[in-house]
A and B are shown apart, each in its own frame.
Chain A
């Protein structure tokens, strides 16, 4: 029980740090083609993410932004360069960098509760069953899914599924949260609601986040910094935007500021520019 309390306490006491959490240096990713040729997906990526920082990576589809996230997750290997989390080189997937997947990746034969419990069982295996149950219940409540806890993924909506995915990811207290277009498959109304919810959770229990998106508004609303990627092949980081808006943000108020539109247009111009170059 003490374990659980210290864990929850520790989660809440964490404040925005200045320490570098994730350091990506000179990362290059080359795919071997089936015909023996090579495909340069990512070229010379340098990026540092600080503790409790929310970073959005934005770019056109196919620009390799998902590849970048997969390399950080350890699901793919960098061809050159290094990716370090808390000073340790990333070589394989690990629960310290838990993913929220675009298509939810819930296991359809498990209920909502069992899906979260599976992750807790695997990662927090030193806790007692009671402590595990408390953590699962707490995170179900955090994403407002207590009522749907015993339903199967087929029986709930896309937005609910992604909430399960988010609860599953944060329940195992990762050092870093990786989100691969987490709202990409949702309709606009659900998306807005879920963005709000994720930000609320993030405000309550600070956490480093790296989020892939193709939605400039989403990035401006949620992130501290926005990484703009150029188009692939050989995608690079084109520019990094600081988002100066104070937390807790209100989307309606943001939309009324000139700064918001300047940043938004800047980002869109950047993306358009690189898109037109392609043609």
Chain B
């Protein structure tokens, strides 16, 4: 009896100390409430308009195969959703990496030089509002292949936010830090690597996170147009087969992956800058 009561006491103590009720409410209960409201809405709509939508339960059952076997290979073009996701991620990473490698130096350059800013800024302002998908025909004409064209579009997508934020970060490096560098007689190159780069890293990461977020938005649209293997074409393909169940699954997978990408990048930011990712 005393054993049971001590267990109860321990559980209660742990509950109050480590898994605080308020924390559980904020991180588990309230988000769950939000999801269940949406789910209930979907369910009620699907129940009344059966020809429009599958109910959540029907969608789950229909997608069970995808969920249980994400990495199946059943002949050419018939791949599990995990493979499709990896193919899309590969395009995004390649384009994003190339874009960042170009954008960060350009951002640095226009952040440091007024002339460069005046020369390049108008171009950026004109290209930035253009939907990156509009570059696809040009890319297709140049590369003649779907895959490099998709990567090129992601490359273009990744340029603008990173350039703009890097330039902002570099041009707003505190004069105090530059005074320290000058008093210590740092050569120009070391001022860039030792002072300006670390000082503007938070801004650069903000740019990178916006870029990656938009790139993940754009890849779905690009793949719908180019076809091939990828989560975006999967969405279009399933719609063509009037299989809305899989479209619901795809939306959920795309959303979770986007969230994961942003969380990962903010972890990298925390690790690189030694400071929590507060911006944005």
Q: Chain A 78-97 against B: per-residue CB contact (8 Å), 1 yes, 0 no?
A: 00000000000000111101
CB of B198 within 8 A of CB of A109, answer yes
CB of A105 within 8 A of CB of B176, answer yes
CB of A119 within 8 A of CB of B184, answer yes
Q: A251 an interface residue at 8 Å Cβ cutoff?
A: no
Q: A103 an interface residue at 8 Å Cβ cutoff?
A: yes
Q: In the complex, which of the residues B177, B186, B275 contacts A105, with contact meaning CB atoms closer than 8 Å?
A: B177
Q: In the complex where A93-B185, A122-B185, A123-B185 touch, is A99 in contact with B275 (Cβ < 8 A)?
A: no
Size category, B interface? 10 to 19
- Cβ distance A2 to chain B, nearest Cβ, rounded Å: 25
CA A266 to CA B176, docked complex, whole Å: 35
Q: Chain B 78-112 against A: per-residue CB contact (8 Å), 1 yes, 0 no?
A: 00000000000000000000000000000000000
Could you tell me which residues of chain A, from 60 to 111, have a CB within 8 Å of some CB in chain B? 73-75, 92-95, 97-99, 101, 103, 105, 107-110
Chain B residues near A97 (CB-CB < 8 A): 183
CA A4 to CA B186, docked complex, whole Å: 22
Chain A residues near B183 (CB-CB < 8 A): 73-75, 93-95, 97-99
Q: A152 an interface residue at 8 Å Cβ cutoff?
A: yes
Q: A272 an interface residue at 8 Å Cβ cutoff?
A: no
CB of A109 within 8 A of CB of B273, answer yes
Could you tell me which residues of chain B, from 186 to 213, have a CB within 8 Å of some CB in chain A? 186, 190, 194-195, 198-199, 201
Closest to B179 in A: A75
Chain B residues near A108 (CB-CB < 8 A): 275
Q: A8 an interface residue at 8 Å Cβ cutoff?
A: no
Q: B180 an interface residue at 8 Å Cβ cutoff?
A: yes
CB of B184 within 8 A of CB of A109, answer no
Chain B residues near A93 (CB-CB < 8 A): 179, 182-183, 185
* Chain B facing A: main interface SS: helix
Chain B residues near A105 (CB-CB < 8 A): 174, 176-177, 179-180
Q: A203 an interface residue at 8 Å Cβ cutoff?
A: no
Q: In the complex, which of the residues A74, A109, A123, A172 contacts B199, with contact meaning CB atoms closer than 8 Å?
A: A109
Most buried by A among B183, B185, B186: B183
Q: A154 an interface residue at 8 Å Cβ cutoff?
A: yes
Closest to B182 in A: A93
Chain A residues near B51 (CB-CB < 8 A): none
CB of A123 within 8 A of CB of B198, answer no
CA A99 to CA B184, docked complex, whole Å: 9
Could you tell me which residues of chain B, from 241 to 280, have a CB within 8 Å of some CB in chain A? 273-275
Chain A residues near B190 (CB-CB < 8 A): 122
Could you tell me which residues of chain B, from 149 to 180, have a CB within 8 Å of some CB in chain A? 174, 176-177, 179-180
Chain A residues near B273 (CB-CB < 8 A): 109
CA A98 to CA B184, docked complex, whole Å: 8
Chain B residues near A94 (CB-CB < 8 A): 183, 185
Q: In the complex where A103-B176, A109-B201, A152-B274 touch, is A123 in contact with B184 (Cβ < 8 A)?
A: yes
A contact residues vs B (CB 8 Å cutoff): 73-75, 92-95, 97-99, 101, 103, 105, 107-110, 118-119, 122-123, 152, 154, 172
Chosen A-B contacts, 19 in total, with CB atoms closer than 8 Å, are: A75-B179, A75-B183, A92-B182, A93-B185, A94-B183, A95-B184, A99-B179, A99-B180, A105-B174, A107-B199, A109-B199, A109-B273, A119-B184, A122-B184, A122-B185, A122-B190, A152-B274, A154-B275, A172-B184
B contact residues vs A (CB 8 Å cutoff): 174, 176-177, 179-180, 182-186, 190, 194-195, 198-199, 201, 273-275
